[in-house]
Amino acid sequence: MSESKEKKVILLHNFDKSDYVRLLSALKSIGLSENTIVAVTTNITLEWKVEDLLNELFLEDESLKEERKR
């Protein structure tokens, strides 16, 4: 199984910034932040198929991971 398929994904809709920040903090405090992708819906992503959205999130996650290594 690929690493991206082992990741958990939390998709947020209509969350305000303070709730988003609190959720990220809670995930970090319980050790889930490294293995969890948290994304917020946009007008564009609301029209996507779930499979397409997940694939995009996994690609972005890999890209961010590579940037952090540099």
Distances, alpha carbon 21 to alpha carbons 13, 27, 53, in Å: 14, 10, 22
Residue given tokens 């209509």 in the structure block: 14
Taking alpha carbons only, the member of 20, 9, 7 closest to residue 45 is: 9
Question: DSSP strand E in the chain: where?
Answer: 8-12, 36-40
pLDDT tens-digit series, residues 14-69: 999 999 999 999 999 999 888 999 999 999 999 999 999 999 999 999 999 898 88
Question: What domain range includes position 52?
Answer: 3-69
pTM metric for this prediction: 0.81
**1 pLDDT higher than 50:** no
Task: Please give the Cα distance from 57 to 38 (Å, whole number).
Answer: 9
